[in-house]
Amino acid sequence: MQGIQARFLPLPCYPEVKKSKENLPEYLAAFIWGCNSRIAVKWEEPPLWPVVLPSLLGFALACITQIVDGVPMLFDWELGTPFAGLVLASMLLYYAPKQIGGSMELIAGVNVGMLVAFLPQLIFFVWFVPVILFWLFQSAYVWKYNYPAFRIGTWLGLGAVSGLYIGGLFAHYFL
């Protein structure tokens, strides 16, 4: 078994723990996210697709509401329908390559990232600014470290919603 002994716990419970940022026992992580292993992802060089694809998808979905007539507006908000489309599109990550953790853990991370980036916009008008800046910051260094699939998923979700915000601004002012 891989990992280190968690010596800070009381004597009867020394679970085997993998070395990761979250430092969760493997059985607990498997129970929470519904997967049997903690897949960690690290790239040798900066990848382009995790930065470009989610943001382009969000951008395109935000622009579709202005280009195509008859697209229903969920919640009477221009970004409601594109956000629902992003949530549905996140299920396609189940077919992602196993090296990046094509699993339910990755999908859960994407959905959590999208919700954290999207829901506060309903209350805080300028929430899109910190979301976009944080996503740009994350894109500069996430590829360098060894993160679990859930963490990579939150990065992808932030990218999708950042593209949604940028596309919404573009569609509102230019289309």
Give me the tens of pLDDT residue by residue for the chain, a chain 175 residues long: 444 444 443 444 434 444 444 555 565 555 555 544 455 566 677 677 778 888 999 999 988 888 888 777 777 778 888 888 889 988 888 877 776 666 788 888 889 999 999 889 888 889 889 999 998 888 888 777 777 878 888 888 999 999 999 998 898 888 7
Q: Kindly state whether residue 27 falls inside one of the protein's structural domains.
A: no
Q: Kindly state whether residue 143 falls inside one of the protein's structural domains.
A: yes
Q: Quick check: 35 and 20 in contact, CB under 8 A?
A: no
Residue range of the domain that includes 146: 39-174
The pLDDT score that the predictor gives to residue 100 is 63
Q: Kindly state whether residue 2 falls inside one of the protein's structural domains.
A: no
The number of distinct structural domains making up the chain is 1
Residues 6 or more apart in contact with residue 156 via CB below 8 angstroms: 50, 54, 93, 106, 109, 110, 113
As a whole number of angstroms, the distance between CA 144 and CA 121 comes to 30
The pLDDT score that the predictor gives to residue 144 is 77
Neighbours of 66 (CB within 10 A): 16
**Taking the CA atoms of the chain, what radius of gyration do you get in angstroms?**
18
Q: Kindly state whether residue 34 falls inside one of the protein's structural domains.
A: no
The pLDDT score that the predictor gives to residue 60 is 92
**Left if phi > 0, otherwise alpha if psi is -120 to 50, otherwise beta: which for 76?**
left
As a whole number of angstroms, the distance between CA 7 and CA 133 comes to 38
Q: Which residues pair with 25 in a beta bridge?
A: 17
The pLDDT score that the predictor gives to residue 107 is 87
As a whole number of angstroms, the distance between CA 24 and CA 63 comes to 40
Q: Kindly state whether residue 96 falls inside one of the protein's structural domains.
A: yes
Q: Kindly state whether residue 7 falls inside one of the protein's structural domains.
A: no
Q: Kindly state whether residue 44 falls inside one of the protein's structural domains.
A: yes
Residue 41 in 3-state DSSP? strand
Q: Kindly state whether residue 160 falls inside one of the protein's structural domains.
A: yes
**AA identity, residue 51:** V
